[in-house]
Structure 1
């Protein structure tokens, strides 16, 4: 059940807190936050509070000074202090931090909206001044008419999201790394934007990767075939979108399996990592193993793993490189320059050089200074550190919050444009509306 809060809930009959154009929107859409009815030049503190699917609480705050008419507009007025400073229209969202250290914003179930309570308080600073007004922003992961169907067929474990209408729709396979398990957020939002999306657990039936010693490309082949057979699929080929470890899996899917027309690689590696890759009962790529002795500890209790991956260009590791020159589809490489999980920017540059060497021009690349590892759909809380299932402890992901948030906005639009360009249908994907 969706909880709907009206656009305006005033604790004072004079102060007005408005969320425009509506208090109900999609997760990846901005809202305009405006205040009215304050005293001329009055200083107030804006707060945002929320919790994720695991009950972890997040919050942010920012101090604002009203203009001569007693109004504040976060689209144009600067924060004077708090979780961020300067003009940041969506700063209260991306600057939210967990109340418990090293927690990732776990928003995984597409049917549950992200509820953010905005409030305005007297005065400035950390003290909780008298609340003057509040409003709840209901941020949906699925637009009206999008269908969500769990998939348990053969080895597949996933969820299929289909846009409203009969199609034809571009088809996308979402490989999202969340401890190897299933994540729905990105897939649901892509479906809302007009793509038919299947998101799958990376390890199939064994969603938590317990006792996994190898990964089988056959599983992703099964996923592709399932996706291609869905009613409404209109693209000639399928797209693949990835992040982190699933990046090298996406490269392998594009390089070894037919029918992949567009692959989005986000902050992955250029070589097969962690576990050997098998296909049709044979190993096709060995695993590039991590070097735990190179883990760097920090005062926060989180560690830096960036230097734990051996050189992908060393002679002894070349067999693990994914032969992306075999791919017939197009690539979009996206790398965060401050990724502290591993050196994504170097891997991207290596892959660009490799494709150039083989006379290929089927790629585009983009890098983001100041961004960290977890580049996700925009307007969620920035994650500086969280538990890494493979490392077995919290890790630093890197990035500066403001730059990271801007990178997410830019990349999200670029991903959609990339898929629309290379997964052509008879008609263009419909504009999605709530």
Structure 2
């Protein structure tokens, strides 16, 4: 490494996963061309990397929030481009970061562009530790009755707004979104719909009763001050969140991200009675691509067809508020169309307890910001890799906006009552 070249990560090399970081290079020759690289390995051992070429200014400095990338994984001024443009070294891999205790480490390095590619020297390097768990945020494994999950609690006495995170993307339990929300001041319980080691292997139906117990668990927590809780979802759990908001008491705010307006794939039960049959999927409508990934957007049956009306969720009965988030380039299913369908239904019933936001150029898999964009990966229900849609730059911008929007929505709708919290103690 060159002793005079410095790679700086500001304001610190250690930050939360959803925090931006400012990358600066100093000590270069005037107008020197270099390649700045980022590299990381996920929980499954898959390597993700990106690279962009920059030219130093007259003072031998590069500022990624000011200077444009000339070529590489992206072009133009993109302060966080090295993070969201990282690609897996293997096709159809999704960045896996589900555990909250270990940070996501990204290795940044600067290489001399004027040397042969294979032999380019490392002029400077630095590690960025991106934490999923904020300072003094509590993490507790929950196994109470039929509730299986992880509870995250911010430091301090509260009261705090409470959120049930129904993360079901690909099955199993992911702590990333829940731990980051807790780091921003929410009490969050994350629960899996299926795929948990203590749950049945072949789930054939879903019961709202278990989620009702999870909501009651949250509302009784000493640090929770709101009269009701929030619910956040993604993909299949989107329609489940609609049913939770419609049929269960104590739900004040629901975030629906790229889901469906009808109950999909698995029949839904409550108090041993069938609430909704499942809206099914037509494998004959799948589009095969040269990459081996499938486009399954048109496979879901039409929920408005007469034979499928019983799968539609009567969200007009919900007493809380909705935030609908849709990606216009979702290739998993017609999220934008489902939002239009739900908005029309609510308006028809004289309801105004909703807001919606749609993102052009974004794909299905919307997550907290600054993780690698995922164009395709294995779909647990289909059993093959699928294309999620979207364009990396637009998708990354959508995640930043969405993440702020979600927090604003929950803070606005989940007002906390300090007196109520004191009464629980």
Task: State the Cα RMSD in Å.
Answer: 1.2
Contact conserved, 2:374 with 2:388, CA < 8 A, in 1?
Answer: yes
Q: How many residues align?
A: 417
Residues 1:82 and 2:49 aligned together? no
- CA deviations over 1:323-342 (Å, ceiling 9, x no partner): 10010000000000000000
Distance 1:265 1:169 in 2: 21
The aligned residue for residue 381 of structure 2 is 390
**TM-score (ref. length: structure 2):** 0.96
Residues 1:134 and 2:125 aligned together? yes
Contact conserved, 1:156 with 1:204, CA < 8 A, in 2?
Answer: no
Contact conserved, 2:195 with 2:201, CA < 8 A, in 1?
Answer: no
The aligned residue for residue 341 of structure 1 is 332
Distance 2:188 2:66 in 1: 37
Contact conserved, 1:180 with 1:207, CA < 8 A, in 2?
Answer: no
- Alpha-carbon deviation of 1:206? 5.9
Q: Secondary structure at the match of 1:139?
A: strand
Gaps of 5+ in 2: 419-425
Change (3 A) 1:207 1:84: farther
Q: Secondary structure at the match of 2:135?
A: coil
Contact conserved, 1:181 with 1:207, CA < 8 A, in 2?
Answer: no
Distance 1:81 1:405 in 2: 18
- Alpha-carbon deviation of 1:154? 1.0
Residues 1:94 and 2:69 aligned together? no
Aligned pairs (5 A) from 1:122-201: 122-123=112-113, 127=118, 129-201=120-192
Identify the match of residue 266 of structure 1 among 232, 238, 257.
Answer: 257
Q: Which runs of 4+ in 1 moved over 2 A?
A: 124-128, 203-210
The aligned residue for residue 7 of structure 1 is none
Identify the match of residue 102 of structure 2 among 107, 112, 132.
Answer: 112
Gaps of 5+ in 1: 1-10, 428-434
Residues 1:275 and 2:266 aligned together? yes
Change (3 A) 1:126 1:262: farther
Distance 1:215 1:388 in 2: 19
Change (3 A) 1:425 1:185: same
**TM-score (ref. length: structure 1):** 0.94
Q: Secondary structure at the match of 2:67?
A: coil
- CA deviations over 1:354-380 (Å, ceiling 9, x no partner): 000000000000000000001000000
Residues 1:61 and 2:69 aligned together? no
- Alpha-carbon deviation of 1:180? 2.4
Distance 2:218 2:119 in 1: 51
Q: Secondary structure at the match of 2:299?
A: coil
Distance 2:119 2:231 in 1: 46
Aligned pairs (5 A) from 1:389-408: 389-408=380-399
The aligned residue for residue 423 of structure 2 is none
Contact conserved, 1:214 with 1:276, CA < 8 A, in 2?
Answer: yes
Change (3 A) 1:153 1:214: same
